[in-house]
Structure 1
């Protein structure tokens, strides 16, 4: 990778605050200067699509696909060297997203993720006590159960090389909020080093995410993700194989239906 590498940003959205999203898009454009910004919006109002279509590439789904499905469809549609996503509420501001993408451009890592729990992160506005307790409990459980361990699986901004996505995307299935968890665990199980980047982060209490139902979804998905990524981590196909060779193997797997 280099500073000249092309960058595509996907923003998954469901019933977003349009003014917030428009400001966030403009901030991303000014700070990152990405080649493409693509909004994957579910069950949108026609007026929202028309307004967004004037400033970014928009893919609107009449049904609610879920966050994971929206990101995957967006990533598959991008034709850039680096793929990134950020949640539509702008909790991770554009300069922090730029820090995440910068790690990929520098070639220091192939996968880079935002981390609210990094010691150097700056939390501008904390979540409610209930959200924090649920989030901390989930992160603890995930670190104990999964082959890939990190401080923060769910923070809403991540980036990777297009080559890494070819390998990682082959093993991602979660359609909803558990996709972040699956993405991180799959990437680590395939042998990619994951850079956790400190960010500035601000909670948005008006988010459409329900802490209770989302926690249940994540807890249920954790079992499935553990089973799938344990299988990857212990597979003779990937054991002691260099990262670049793993990517080649995944390309062969995509062609032969494995």
Structure 2
């Protein structure tokens, strides 16, 4: 399968030019949707004015955007699709692991490689619609250091729910994380989060978890670093995913939460 970027010649940022916005995509066996969604993402960012100089440049430094895709040891044709797309559009940067390490590892690898004034990570299946970029970016531009997409706050809307077991375990994980670690955060695991550059460096250079609980660790680090945090309501829809074994992932997440609590007590996130 070959990649098909939007028509036209994609502008190169040029050597030494920093983008205004970086978008990180963790990718694991997304071949069925990846080509279509990459095209949609690039077209959307161009339409929203991130594709070149203008207001976005004046508001914080940098110009244009980059997409940093991290292939997490995919077994399908995801890496071939990414490489073909990157050959046609230099704004796509492709990183990857030989073996699957987990979403947390892929997000961390991508976020630490970003060059943008703002950096956002999101799921390659676009379970959070692209239209939700606006409020998240606006919250970062208004001065918040980190912004979390929130599926459980007033104004949010879940258009398609997860299977009952997965949603129930997710709610239990959120409640336990609130009790053990960070009260006041209503949605830890939404895969749509944004950071200002310095905040991204501070948070992801301290993160350690590679699997399901990595989001909770990020929020703990944000808190320990004293960063300005916002939560924005988002629309979201569940996309079928057979790659996660929910019960074993949830069990591992409980142990990871205890690890985070111990690391926090030892001051390792400061």
- In the TM superposition, residue 54 of structure 1 has moved relative to its aligned partner by 2.8
- Residue in structure 2 matching 1:101, options 114, 137, 140: 137
**Unpaired segments of 5 or more residues in structure 1?**
239-258
CA distance in 1, matches of 2:186, 2:265: 19
Residue 74 of structure 2 is aligned to residue 61 of structure 1: no
CA distance in 2, matches of 1:170, 1:178: 16
CA distance in 2, matches of 1:53, 1:199: 31
- Residue in structure 2 matching 1:127, options 138, 162, 179: 162
Residue in structure 1 matched with residue 67 of structure 2 by the alignment = 37
- In the TM superposition, residue 132 of structure 1 has moved relative to its aligned partner by 1.5
- In the TM superposition, residue 28 of structure 1 has moved relative to its aligned partner by 2.4
8 Å contact from structure 2 (residues 71, 78) kept in 1: no
Report the count of equivalent residues.
230
Say what the alpha-carbon RMSD is for the aligned residues. Answer: 2.2
Residue in structure 2 matched with residue 252 of structure 1 by the alignment = none
Residue in structure 1 matched with residue 58 of structure 2 by the alignment = none
Residues 178-218 of structure 1, C-alpha deviations (whole Å, 9 max, x = no match): 21111111101211122111111001123412221221121
- Residue in structure 1 matching 2:257, options 219, 222, 225: 222
CA distance 1:98–1:28, change in 2 (3 Å): farther
CA distance in 2, matches of 1:179, 1:90: 20
Residue 84 of structure 2 is aligned to residue 71 of structure 1: no
TM-score of the aligned structures, taking structure 2 as reference length: 0.78
CA distance in 2, matches of 1:71, 1:14: 12
Comparing 133-142 with 40-49, greater Cα deviation is found at: 40-49
TM-score of the aligned structures, taking structure 1 as reference length: 0.81
**Unpaired segments of 5 or more residues in structure 2?**
1-17, 51-64, 86-91
- In the TM superposition, residue 5 of structure 1 has moved relative to its aligned partner by 7.2
CA distance 1:202–1:46, change in 2 (3 Å): closer
8 Å contact from structure 1 (residues 148, 188) kept in 2: no
